[in-house]
Chains A and B, each alone.
Chain A
Amino acid sequence: MIYHLRHRTTFEYSTPVTFVYNVLRLKPRELPWQSVRSSRLTVQPNPSVLSERTDYFGNTCTYCSIEMTHDQMQVLMESIVEVRPRPKRPPAAASPWDTVRERLRAVRSPEGLDAFQFCFNSGAVSRHRETRDYCLPSCTQNASAHEVALRLMERIHSDFVFDPTATTVSTPVLEVLKKRRGVCQDFAHLMISCLRSVGIPARYNSGYIQTAPPPGKARLEGADASHAWVGVYCPENGWLDLDPTNNKVADEQFITIGWGRDYEDISPVAGVMLGGGKHRVRAEVDMIPETEFMQSQQQQ
């Protein structure tokens, strides 16, 4: 699948802002099943610095600062991304979920070392007795980490209600667990906390998911959203990406920007501004399959 991706974030401030410092993580990552054919980042007003680097997790991040008084900032990432079916390794006999952490403790391969760091508490996600208790029913004896995670995903999907009004970006995991409501970020954080609390490495993925327009209706501009899901590690079979919000194993409908221990490591736009009072954020995402994109181009 080839997608034309546009992600525009607009910040409007109640009073003018003199300086903004941002770290942007918006550029999709090169992966065995994902290629970025082109990408263009535009920030307005004109930033005085725009520098790209690769972060510790291998994601592309862009530091940018705006040093002029302004009352609105716009960040636009446009890219063309090809997503192929993920390579299917024939599943190896996997060790039971409750041996994963002990195994990783001794593993020294780059992949194993990388996975191990996703076992521990991070800035926004801690392990809790409560999330452990919620997770345990999915942890049947001898089940692999992936099997546990698949069951957990199903349960979260059926136990929790998608409700954009219930939470904010900083709602703690335990509150989400109590309310049984939230958005993709909350479900991802919850699932990560559950898995880590039983010793399974889990990471936070940031990106997009293709949504179908309502039947018989045209795609609404900007109606897609950025998305978050969970990667789960099993020493024998590697990473498996699971989306608790949609109860779905990630496939060609997912574009991956990157991953981290939680939202704080990979939030699309993180910034500090001087002045400005309150601010309002508007995000518009269009993730249009190439065929559809061509049709709309021809019609214009």
Chain B
Amino acid sequence: MDNLENGYVPLAGTYSEMANPAGGVRPHWQTMLDQLNAYGAENITTRWNRARRIIRQNGVTYNVSGTESDARRPWELDPVPLMQSADEWEKISAGLIQRMRLLNAFLADIYGPQTLLKDGILPSELILANPAFLRACTPIQPPDGHYLTMMAVDLARAPSGELRVVKDQTQTPSGAGYALENRLIVSRTFPTMYRDCKVERLAGFFAALRDRLAELSPRRNENPRIVILTPGMQSPSYFEHAYLSRYLGFPLVEGNDLTVRGNQVFLKTLGGLRQVDVILRRQDDDDCDPLELDPSSHLGIPGLVEAAVAGQVVIANSLGSGLAETPALLPFYPMLCRRLLHEEPKLWTVPTWWCGQNLEMNQVIQNLDDFVIKRAFPEPKEHSVFPRQLLPEQRAQLIAHIKDDPKRYIAQKNLSLSTAPCWVDGKLVPRHSMLRAFVVATRDGWKVMPGGLGRTSSKADSTVVSMERGGGSKDTWVLGRGEIKRITLLPDSGSEAAPAREEENLSSRVADNLFWLGRYIQRAELQTRMLRTILRRLTEETQPDGTPELPELLRTLGVMTDQPPERWKIARPVEDMERTRAFLCQVIFDTDQGNNLQAALMSAGQIGAMVRDRISMDTWRILDRLDQELHRTACREDLTEIADMLDSLIVPLSAFSGLGFESMTHGYAWRFMDMGFRLERAVMSAMVIRELLTAPDPYEVPVLDAMLEIGNCSITYRSRYQNGVAVLPLLDLLISDPTNPRSIAFQLKLINEHVRELSHLPRLGQLNEQIQSEKLLRFVEDFDLSLITAFDESGHRPKLADFLQQVIDLVQELSVLINERYLSHVQSTHKLSSLVGGAT
């Protein structure tokens, strides 16, 4: 069989990572290629399809647009690793470490004595006009002068083969978590290839980061509390934040979860306030404190700068360190390296000109087509302009902009990026590639991640390599020297994720989300069961005498989902099929109608994504499957197809409660989720019984049958009672039977248990919700149902209706009490400002 590399033609004018100019393969790619060939094209494709499924199911995402709707775009990964030889990697590592020392020394100077400005080394405008230079952060003294705990560097290879720095990331270096996830997927998909290549492991890098964060703690003698601060779901790399949180075992928090008291920082947990020592932040400098940094930010923690100045909390990287990633500094770093470190730079930068100098600006304008124009100061989104692609008037406008405020622009040489092989349509094809490398500070030096996040362009001719623009990623393999130590091997996500965190760290916000996740899932399940029961009667010939109970079922569904009566009041549903279908579709698909199936599933998915560091991988997969099923839109005209869709929803929905039991530790997180789940089930069951059994109905038997179906207890019932269905035994089964996992009493029993367990949290005494919960359980268990099942003269069951309404009210009250106790801590903030000169 033909070797995979035989048909591979590198792009002309670029450096080929894999092929040498003579047409052969560079030695450090050989073993990997041999292994790929041993797998064979077909096998690779099969394995890779499976891997892609894992990526999707694991919910590895990169949120491109920053909107919630786009929050779950799957991560793009290529199966072919980017290979690095041991010799070259040693040089790269030395260069990366030097770069981190350099940027750190730069920050220490600018936030300190500013000799670079006083001695005329740097154009002062570069700092003084730079919005990333945060004057409020100058009093912060990071421990041992380490402004940077971790940083990322984007490297690209020029046609000459030389690696060059394209970009530094110093404020929220992202991608290390994705690199780790890439490694897990590729190594599991091609285990023999991974083993035979003797690849350097990544785990040591993360262990170094974890150890370093612990060392940074200002309270040296105690067990430090370290948290990861995320801007939340709208952050493009939220997945990574949650992933690192699980991997490192540090709670993932948002600004609202933290509070400054005195000059210390605390995490708001269910058990009260817990002091935080170290914050690994993934939030931009400016967003961290609305009091002393950007006052318009809603993500920050008021007082955080003061706490950092007081040395009571350490923030990594230090606030203000975004200054070092200023693109306009790129051309100055080689000179700064000589000045600050007294060393020759080991890594060079992509040729860059800062237009803030007259000579440079004129050169750039004269040779505009040779450059890509970017912003000089850090901005949240990159703006790259390729003058070559501009129309004449756009070009003139660009020149005018540059001349108007030259300091705001840099020009970089169009660099022809190197190419690496990617797996496309069953063969290897060349794509432009870049590497994001990571460095972490350690107690006695620095450590480079042996590997990194390889990134590739989406098309052969595209030179824009960026996740925002839809490129892909690659695992990066650094070949080891000699034997790789096995102890650092990461066998699977289960064992590395060992969440060694205290339950008390559960924040109120997360508990609230879990509570509602449980409610929405259960709401969706009951609605699905109800819908299925109805659809079965519409599509199957179930009873010889028709389906007289249908109007009642439609009404119940309408009440459950808050639909207006004109939609569900259908006297002859089978004959009036079009209206019936329209109503059912409304309940299933219409997201504007608040309380229906699609809305419940969407809410569950969104909340699930917010708490994904708290739920098990299996639970996450269920949420993903629900999402899939829902989008596999059945033809809305065809009731049989809709019924099929509901059938396929019910399996993951039912599995959810079971899995929660199985795979989540029974700590507070699980208790809140299950409590939401049980409260919803109790209320909804009571509502269904009330709607179906309290109104006069000449067709009681078919209604009772339907109730058994909705309650999913036909089998239980029939095994106990041989005769037909009767009201009293049915009510007993659905309401008070403590052994039926679907009965109301069963839900109340579990809720009562949760409430009791939660009261073990510190600083809480005998609680209102505990009293209420006990009362409710007794009320339902002790009730003599036989007293209230009889019809009155008008054919109603008013006593039963009263009873059920009482149950619903009591459960809702309990829900409010629980919310007040544990969950309603999020308060809005307002800004104060004083008056000047009579302004109002």
Q: Per-position contact with B for A261-280: 1 when CB-CB < 8 Å, else 0?
A: 00111011111111111010
CA A22 to CA B833, docked complex, whole Å: 9
**Is B196's beta carbon under 8 Å from chain A?**
no
Interface size class of B (residues with CB under 8 A): 35 or more
Given contacts A9-B834, A105-B125, A164-B837, 6 further A-B contacts (CB under 8 A): A9-B835, A53-B139, A108-B124, A267-B833, A275-B827, A283-B834
| Complex Cα gap A268–B114 (Å) | 28
Contact A281 B306 (CB under 8 A): no
Q: Does A169 contact B (CB under 8 A)?
A: yes
Partner of A269, one of B117, B832, B839: B832
C-alpha spacing A270/B136, complex, angstroms: 14
User: Is A55's beta carbon under 8 Å from chain B?
Assistant: yes
Q: Is the CB of B834 within 8 A of A108?
A: no
| A228 within 8 A of partner (CB) | yes
CA–CA, A270 and B259, complex, Å: 18
6 sample A-B contacts, Cβ–Cβ < 8 Å, listed by A number: A21-B291, A63-B263, A105-B124, A225-B837, A227-B836, A267-B833
Q: Which of A34-42, A82-90, A113-121 contacts B (4 or more CB under 8 A)?
A: A113-121
Is there contact, CB below 8 Å, between A11 and B832? yes
Q: Which residues of B contact A183 (CB under 8 A)?
A: 836-839
Q: Is B79 interfacial (CB 8 A cutoff)?
A: no
Residues of B within 8 A of A164 (CB): 837-840
When the two chains form their complex, are residues A20 and B119 in contact, meaning their CB atoms are under 8 A apart? Answer: no
Inter-chain contacts of B835 with A (CB < 8 A): 9, 169, 225-226, 281, 283
Partner of A268, one of B125, B128, B836: B836
Please tell me the size bucket of the interface on A: 35 or more
Q: Is B260 an interface residue (CB 8 A)?
A: yes
Please report the C-alpha to C-alpha distance between residue A176 and residue B837 in the assembled complex, in whole angstroms.
15
- Whole-angstrom CA separation of A10 from B294 in the bound complex: 25
Task: Find out whether the CB atom of B834 lies under 8 angstroms from the CB atom of A65.
Answer: no
Chain A residues positioned under 8 Å from B119 (CB to CB): 108
B138-A51 in contact (CB<8A): no
Chain A nearest Cβ from B616, distance in angstroms:
34
* B223 at the A interface (CB under 8 A): no
Q: Which of B295, B828, B829, B839: most chain A CB closer than 10 A? A: B839
How would residues 131 to 174 of chain A score, 1 for a CB under 8 Å from any chain B CB and 0 otherwise?
00000000000000000000000000000000011011100000
Tell me whether B290 is interfacial, beta carbon within 8 Å.
Answer: yes
Q: A56-B135, A108-B117 are in contact. Are A267 and B837 (CB under 8 A)?
A: no
Knowing A21-B291, A273-B829, say if A49 contacts B836 (CB, 8 Å): no
**CB-CB nearest in chain A for B828:** A275
Specify the chain B residue showing the minimal Cβ separation from A167. B839
Give B287 Cβ to nearest chain A Cβ, in Å: 14
B839 touches A168 (CB 8 A): yes
B123 on interface, CB distance cutoff 8 Å:
yes
Are B829 and A228 touching (Cβ within 8 A)? no
User: Of A9, A21, A119, A274, which one neighbours B827 at CB under 8 angstroms?
Assistant: A274
Given contacts A120-B128, A226-B835, A272-B290, contact A105 B123 (CB under 8 A): yes
A79 neighbours in B (Cβ, 8 Å):
none
- Nearest chain A CB to B246's CB is how many angstroms away? 30
Residues of B at under 8 Å CB distance from A?
Answer: 114, 117-120, 123-125, 128-129, 135-136, 138-139, 259-263, 290-292, 295, 302-303, 306, 309-310, 827-840
Give the residues in chain A near B138, CB-CB below 8 Å.
56
Q: In the bound complex, how far is the Cα of B835 from the Cα of A283, in angstroms?
A: 7
Q: Which 7 A-B pairs have the closest CB atoms?
A: A271-B832, A184-B837, A56-B135, A269-B834, A272-B302, A117-B128, A120-B129
Q: Which of A's residues lie within 8 Å of B, judged by CB?
A: 9, 11, 18-23, 48-49, 51, 53, 55-57, 63, 65, 67, 105-106, 108, 110, 113, 116-117, 119-121, 164-165, 167-169, 183-186, 206, 225-228, 245, 263-265, 267-277, 279, 281, 283
Which A residues touch B129, using CB under 8 A? 117, 119-121
Residues in B neighbouring A110, C-beta threshold 8 A: 118
| Contact indicator A185/B836 (Cβ below 8 Å) | yes
A228–B839 alpha-carbon span in the complex (Å): 11
Q: Tell me if B837 and A279 are in contact (CB < 8 A).
A: no
Give Cα A39–Cα B404 distance, bound, in whole angstroms: 47
CA distance A274 to B839 in the complex (A): 24
Q: Which residue of A lies closest to B296 (CB)?
A: A123
With contacts A56-B136, A56-B138 taken as known, whether A23 is within 8 angstroms of B837 at the C-beta atoms is no
Closest Cβ–Cβ distance, residue A33 to chain B (whole Å): 22
Chain A residues positioned under 8 Å from B837 (CB to CB)? 164, 183-185, 225-228, 245
Task: Point out the residues of chain B lying under 8 angstroms from A19, CB to CB.
Answer: 259
- In the complex formed, the residue of A with least CB distance to B826 is A274
Q: In the complex, which residue of chain B has the Cβ closest to the Cβ of A9?
A: B834
State whether A113 touches B124 (Cβ < 8 A). Answer: yes
Rounded to whole angstroms, the CA-CA distance of A167 and B835 in the bound complex is 12
Question: Bound complex: CA of A51 vs CA of B292, how far in Å?
Answer: 14
Q: How far is the CB of B409 from chain A (nearest CB, A)?
A: 15
State which of A51, A67, A185 has its C-beta within 8 Å of the C-beta of B261: A67
- Shortest distance from the beta carbon of B592 to any chain A beta carbon, whole Å: 31
| A51 close to B306 (CB less than 8 A) | yes
Q: Find out whether the CB atom of A274 lies under 8 angstroms from the CB atom of B829.
A: yes
Question: In the complex, A279 Cα to B834 Cα: how many Å?
Answer: 11
Residues of A within 8 A of B302 (CB): 21, 272
B621 to chain A, nearest CB (A): 39
Most chain B beta-carbon contacts within 10 A, residue among A19, A67, A269: A19
